[in-house]
Structure 1
Amino acid sequence: MRIVVIGISGAGKSTLAAQLAQGLGVPHVELDALYWEPGWTMASPAAFAARVEAATAGPAWVADGNYRAVRPLLWGRATHLVWLDYGRPVIMTRVIRRSLLRALSGRELWNGNREHWRNLLEPGHPIRYAWRQWAPRRRELEALLAGGEYPHLSVLRLRSTAELPAARAALLRQAGKG
C-alpha cells in the first residue's frame, strides 16, 4: 500500500500517517520535513521534488501533506488517499491547540525549526492559513477528485473524527495487518 493522507493544517494528517505507517510496518513520509529547511527556509522546487521522489520510490509507504508541487508525483504513485475533511470548528480547535502546545514546548519540528509565539500573527502561520484556506482547499480537492485524473486511487473522505477509527482499521485489514 502507498497511502497519502491529506487535509488542511491541523486536521491530523501527520498523526494518522504515523499511526498507519507503524501499523503497516512501512516508512512514514512527512512532506513538511522534506520541504522545510533550517530557519524555516523553503526547499527549492527541484530539491523538494527530488526528496519526495526518493522517499516514495519504495513499494510501500504512508505520506502526509498537500503540496501542489508534488501532487502529480505523489498521487500518481499512491494506491490510497485519505482525506481528513473535517468541519472548520474541528480544524480550528486542533490547529490552535497544536500551535500553542508547540510554542510552549519549544519542540523541534523539522530541521531545527520550532514554532514561536512571535510567529502566531504572521500571515503564513498555520492558524491563519487554516482559517483562510479551509473553504477554498475543500473546493479545490472536491473538483480535483471529481475530475477523474486519479482513477486508480482508492479514496476515503472522512468528514467526522468519529469515522477515523473504522477507516484506520479498514486500511490495516486491507493490507492484512488488522
Structure 2
Amino acid sequence: MFQAKLERALQASPDWVLDGNYNRTRPVKWRDVDVVIWVDYGFARTLWQAVTRAVKRAWHKHELWPDTGNRESFRRAFFSRGSIIIWTIKTWRNNRTRYAADLQNPQYRHIRFVRITRREQVQTLIASLKSYS
C-alpha cells in the first residue's frame, strides 16, 4: 500500500526531491531519478552526528515531523529497537557498500551520482545549485 501511494505521488508531479535509505521503495524511486546525492561521511562522523542529533531532539522534545506528536526520547534514542544510534551502527557499512555498488550498476546508468565525502564539498554543491533557482 505504501509503495503504491508513493508511486502515485511521484507520478503526480514531474519534479520532486526525496531523502533517506528506505530500500524497499528503491525500484519505484530510482526508476525516474536524475541525481542521487550520496553523503558519504566516515563512520565516526556519521555516528557523532546521529548521537548529537538524538540528544538535542530528546532534550528539547522536538517534534520529528509536524503535527504527528512523534518526539525523540532518551530511552528511544539509546535503548530501543528503533534507536537511530543503533540503526546507524548496524547499517553504516552496508549502506556504504550498497551505494558504492550502485555507482557501478548499469541499471542506474541514467542517474548522476554526486558523492560528498567532506563538508567543503557540500558548500560547493550548494553554490552550484543556486544557479538553477
Compute the TM-score of the two structures, normalised by the length of structure 1.
0.67
Amino acid at match of 2:29: L
1:124 aligns with 2:103: no
Match of 2:26 among 71, 93, 109: 71
1:49 aligns with 2:34: no
Task: Report deviation, 1:50.
Answer: 2.9
What are the ranges of 5 or more consecutive residues in structure 2 without an aligned counterpart? none
Alignment deviations for residues 63-98 of structure 1 (CA, whole Å, 9 cap, x no partner): 111111111111112111100000112111111110
The aligned length equals 129
Q: Which has the higher helix share?
A: 2
Alignment of 1:1-178 (within 5 A): 46=1, 48-57=2-11, 58-110=13-65, 111-119=68-76, 120-173=78-131, 176-177=132-133
Task: Report deviation, 1:172.
Answer: 3.6
Task: Say which one has the larger Rg.
Answer: 2
Q: In angstroms, what is the RMSD of aligned CA positions?
A: 1.5
Alignment deviations for residues 92-129 of structure 1 (CA, whole Å, 9 cap, x no partner): 11111100011011111132211111112123311111
Compute the TM-score of the two structures, normalised by the length of structure 2.
0.88
What are the ranges of 5 or more consecutive residues in structure 1 without an aligned counterpart? 1-45
Q: Which has the higher strand share?
A: 1
